[in-house]
Structure 1
Amino acid sequence: MSEKPKLITPRLPRGFEDRTPGDIAAIGAMIDKIRTVYERYGFDPVETPFFEYTETLGKFLPDTDRPNAGVFSLQDDDEQWMSLRYDLTAPLARYFAENFETLPKPYRSYRQGYVFRNEKPGPGRFRQFMQFDADSVGATGPEADAEMCMMMADVMDTLGLAGQYVVRVNNRKVLDGVLATAGIIGDEQKLTVLRAIDKLDKFGPEGVRLLLGAGRKDESGDFTKGAGLTDAQIEPILAYVDSGTPAPGVEKGSNAHVVATINNLAGLIGGSETGLAGVQELAAIFGLVSAAGFGGRVILDPSVVRGLEYYTGPVFEIELTFTVRNEKGQDVVFGSVGGGGRYDGLVSRFRREPVPATGISIGVSRLANALKLTGNLGATEPAGPVVVLVMDKDQTPRYQTMVSELRKAGIRAEMFLGSSKNFGKQVAYADKRNSPAVIIEGSQEREQGIVQIKDLVAGKQAAAAITDNAEWKAARPGQFEVKREELVAAVQKLLSEQ
């Protein structure tokens, strides 16, 4: 007797997720709203493929036998390394450079799709997730950066999150000026300082001070080595971090707060020309933000670091300000759902001339989670098809005719194709499909020239109030009959009422 073949265990790879019809409908509704805002601002769609040549992705150059650090890679038939895209920005830079002669300058586009990270997955950390980006390539001035900030605010308002977010703005040039004044010029030390500043929300000013100095020991006893700065170097950096704290009686995000913060920053950059340029750019951005009526929604926050080695000027981050419970049961601010900034060096990897660029990226999955928590996700399980039950197998052509009539009228419909002849099991199938109604035609109905329509939505509501099984059978809640020729009109009326 031959052995039965071994069955494969169905397993979803770690860091990936399946999406149900309800998930797809909800995300689709959210993306449609974001798209509407992007297009209102004059951005057009473009789509790039999942794969790019690995060298296109920048920091993932094929310098090993298999360049899979951070990306998923393979070789094509001419031994060229290709990788699944890590983000949507590097493919845009390649697309712009490749089509430089034909594209308008600046080039304003948006892109939505999955990106892939070959990293260790964890809670809320996926290997495949969706982003929704918008970029202006070839736009030089702070006007383009201000527009990105205002567009992010409009997206949040459109999604129903008004009053529950802020768009935080900073400029990397200002920070570079402060670091230069403090005598910090080495890249490795500078990176450690930036990471310390980035921990302000988590550890507070004193925690940042420790990370700028010798280091910090956490509650578990783990030690994080610091930047090794002297007290004289630490003080201007802490003053920079504190420069955005509003004075007593001054509302955070108000014009008075913006002016005071810009003045504070101007006093911390010393003679740095880079720092001065950054201060001037921030002043220009907030002049535009204020004039357009976005004050309070777009705020100046010097603690925003974002993209430690990526951005070259203004940086921005969308932060949701409502609280949620973390895994320890503590109330914490939901935090960032997207951001962006100016990245003037990326396209120049492909072309000799400088090409300025600025853009934003919204984390679709994380934003969807936020909308779910606030009741703003905007879509439930989509309605299934109207199901025509098969009461008599030899009448299948009649049932198929009904289905065709419904479909021609634009109604989503199907004939029951399962093997069961049992009425209850066929209705149970329709329930699982989230069907709004089933169509019933047995021999008695055919003789009378009628069909029965069972409204599954109304039936569930009525059945909830009936406790006796015999009463339920007699009442047949939600069920009514119509003439066969009136089937389509009756279903259309029912669906409009539902």
Structure 2
Amino acid sequence: MAKPKKTPRPKAETPKGFRDYFGAEVTQRAEMLRKIAAVYHRYGFDALESSGVETVEALGKFLPDVDRPNEGVFAWQEDADSDKPGEWLALRYDLTAPLARVYAQHQNDLPKPYRRYAMGPVWRNEKPGPGRFRQFYQCDADTVGSGSVAADAEICAMLADCLEEVGIERGDYIVRVNNRKVLNGVMEVAGLAGDDKEAERGIVLRAIDKLDRLGPEGVRALLGEGRKDESGDFTGGAGLGEEQAEMVINFIEAGSVVARPGTGQIITKGFAPFVYAGPLSSSAVATINKLRKLVEGSNIGKQGVDELEEIATLLAAQGYGPDRIVIDPSVVRGLGYYTGPVFEAELTFEIKDEKGRTRNFGSVAGGGRYDDLVKRFTGQEVPATGVSIGVDRLLAALDAKGRLDKSADGPVVVTVMDKNRMADYQKMVADLRKKKIRAEVYLGNPKNFGNQLKYADKRGSAVAIIQGADEHEKGVVQIKDLILGAKIAENATHEEWKDLTNQYEVPRDQMVAKVLEILALYR
């Protein structure tokens, strides 16, 4: 009789495109979310926690029209093998589609306009890559039910405040603002309006989006016949005439205002260095005037420029000048989705990529006005505007600048010298915890004392507490400064080491005070 096959053991590995987060990473993200939430709350937004699972019908705007609607999302069908299969469900793709469903479902009970913020993981069934995961955190704030561009201006101001609140210094970021209506006006004047020009418009949008990487001449090539890259690969262009292409180039260069990395200074392409002139900076005035000329004859274009001017005026009145927020027509994020103003926050400082090349860090947040999303549920247009902050990107940026708090956060470890005195050790950690000190008793096998100190090192502990029989008899404890001890071991000579100490004997009733004194050195 053949032996039954053993059930193979599952592989202990993270699914492709996902990752695990430990200790400090989780703590740092939680702290960032807390700071951003505080800004959102200060601006009057209320928290919303919606379901992580939505019907595919509710997420339909983001899904392609295929027989199995799980492309781009993680989806499944309820009771798929039964005679009466149920609905298709999916993990949420972002936090905006659930908001549209929530607003449509509860609109009679919600204040109008409804201002909410939401934070949490989202899931995308896309090909993973370096730094690109299938699960990541978003941090959104939206105003639903207001058509005023004051709502868009407020989002921009709030975005700038959030970046500074989490530790991005002024001069290291810029919030760029554009308007879908202005681009529509330019397209109209250039003869690219109408359904028959949809393909050309798509190529134009993608070309504009590559301005930072390819420069104006590279974009110009893509607006024309096409472009061959360094490897010899050819990308077909939009086939625009010279005059049409020039109009698009003039549009994206109308407000080319950038921050000088790390200085807080602003430099402009095509304009003299600006000075403040009345409520608006001269750079904003110059950009607006140039855009007005480009969209002459287009009503939608004029409306878009008027909205940009109003946003700039509202921001200037609150003290948000072009050192933080600028009008930049080269911003084209999701312009097929947005219906009005769009904005993007870019970090302007330089980093080294995985190949050692110098690069700007790039975008960490974006959003805009989307007046058609709720209409899918209600049949009526409901104006809305919002922003989404990429928390993981922001954490990576702060880490690259050395601004993440990496101070010792491991627990104070009370070692166990006598298993029969566990109650004494538990009383020690209780006294520490009463003073808000993170502390624990070593709960492994206490037989090898060296292993207890190795455990404390692995936990990132700054302090270990020792009380054997002799110390207990004398009513004292030994307090070991592990961080100082590591520095002594690494840097001191043998002679210096004899004169240095990282271990202190103190009376038991002074234990908490001494621990607080040591921890204060590393926080």
SS of alignment partner, residue 267 of structure 1: helix
Distance 1:439 1:153 in 2: 45
Q: Deviation per CA, 1:93-141, whole angstroms, max 9, x where unpaired?
A: 1111111011111111111111111111112221111111111111111
Could you tell me which residue of structure 2 aligns to residue 454 of structure 1?
480
What's the CA shift string for 1:351-400, capped at 9, x where partnerless? 132210111111111111111122222x1155222222221233334333
Aligned pairs for 1:481-492 (under 5 A) are 481-492=505-516
| Counterpart among 438, 442, 448 of residue 422 in structure 1 | 448
Q: Aligned partners of 1:466, 1:177: CA distance in 2, in Å? A: 70
Residue of structure 2 equivalent to 1:198: 209
> Residue 321 of structure 1 aligns to a residue in which SS?
strand
For the 8 Å contact 2:417–2:446, the answer to whether it is kept is no
Contact kept, 8 Å, 2:371 with 2:384, in 1: the verdict is yes
State how 1:236-255 maps to structure 2 within 5 Å. Answer: 236-245=247-256, 247-251=270-274, 255=281
Q: Structure 1's 409 and 165: CA in aligned 2 closer, same or farther, altered over 3 A? A: closer
Secondary structure, counterpart of 1:59 in structure 2? helix
Give the partner amino acid of 1:201. Answer: D
- What is the letter of the counterpart of residue 90 of structure 1? A
User: Which residue type is aligned with residue 379 of structure 2?
Assistant: R
Structure 1: how far apart are the matches of 2:7 and 2:507?
A: 54
What letter matches 2:505 in structure 1? E
Is the CA contact 1:463–1:477 (under 8 Å) kept in the aligned structure 2? no
| Residue 180 of structure 2 is aligned to residue 172 of structure 1 | yes
Q: Report the counterpart of residue 169 of structure 2 in structure 1.
A: 161
The alpha-carbon distance between structure 1 residues 233 and 458, as it changes in their structure 2 partners (threshold 3 A), is closer
1:106-125 paired onto structure 2 within 5 Å = 106-125=113-132
Gaps of 5+ in 2: 80-84, 257-268
Matches within 5 A, 1:129-168: 129-158=136-165, 159-168=167-176
Pairing 1:262–2:285 present? no
8 Å CA contact 2:63, 2:72 repeated in 1: no
Contact 1:191 1:308 (C-alpha < 8 Å) held by counterparts? no
- Per-residue CA shift, 1:230-268, capped at 9, x if unaligned? 334323222222322554424399722222221221122
CA contact (8 A) 1:46 1:110 kept: yes
Structure 1 residue 31 corresponds to structure 2 residue 33: yes
SS of 2:235 mapped into structure 1: strand
Q: Does 1:360 align with 2:387?
A: yes
Shift of 1:429: 1.1
Q: Which residue of 2 aligns with 1:294?
A: 320
Q: CA deviation at 1:340?
A: 0.8
1:208-228 deviation digits (Å, cap 9, x = unpaired): 222122211111111111112
Encode CA deviations 1:23-46: one digit per residue, 9 max, x unaligned: 122222322222222222221211
Partner of 2:99: 92
What is the TM-score normalised by the length of structure 2?
Answer: 0.87
SS of 2:443's equivalent in the other structure is coil
TM-score scaled by structure 1?
0.91
Residues 60, 69 of structure 1: 8 Å contact kept: no
Aligned partner (choices 390, 406, 413) of residue 416 of structure 2? 390
**Distance change (3 Å), C-alpha of 1:325 and 1:480:** closer
Q: 1:423 is matched by which residue type in structure 2?
A: F
CA distance in 2, matches of 1:181, 1:372: 46
- The alignment covers a number of residue pairs equal to 495
**1:477 equivalent in alignment to 2:484:** no
Distance of aligned partners of 1:496 and 1:332 in 2 relative to their CA distance in 1, 3 Å threshold: closer
**TM-fit CA distance, 1:163:** 0.8
Distance 1:494 1:328 in 2: 40
Which whole-Å deviations, capped at 9, do the CAs of 1:299-331 have from their partners, x for residues lacking one?
111111110321000111111112223345433
SS in 1 for 2:157: helix
Q: Which moved more, 1:482-491 or 1:415-424?
A: 482-491
Distance 2:113 2:408 in 1: 40
Matched, 1:432 2:432: no
Equivalents in 1 of 2:231, 2:275: separation in Å? 35
C-alpha contact (below 8 Å) 1:344/1:356 kept by paired residues: yes
Instruction: Determine whether 1:228 maps to 2:234.
Output: no
Q: How far does residue 90 in structure 1 lie from its aligned partner after superposition?
A: 0.7
Equivalent runs, 1:309-388 vs 2, <5 Å: 309-377=336-404, 379-380=405-406, 382-388=408-414
Q: Distance in 1 between matches of 2:163 and 2:183?
A: 28
* Structure-1 separation of matches of 2:375 and 2:5: 62
CA separation in 1, counterparts of 2:478 and 2:211?
A: 66
2: CA distance between counterparts of 1:145 and 1:17? Answer: 35
Gapped runs of 5+ residues in structure 1?
none
Asked if the contact 1:205/1:238 (under 8 Å) is kept, the reply is: yes
Letter matched to residue 198 of structure 1: D
Q: Percent identity?
A: 53
Q: Aligned-pair distance for 1:476? A: 8.8
Residues 22, 381 of structure 1: 8 Å contact kept: no
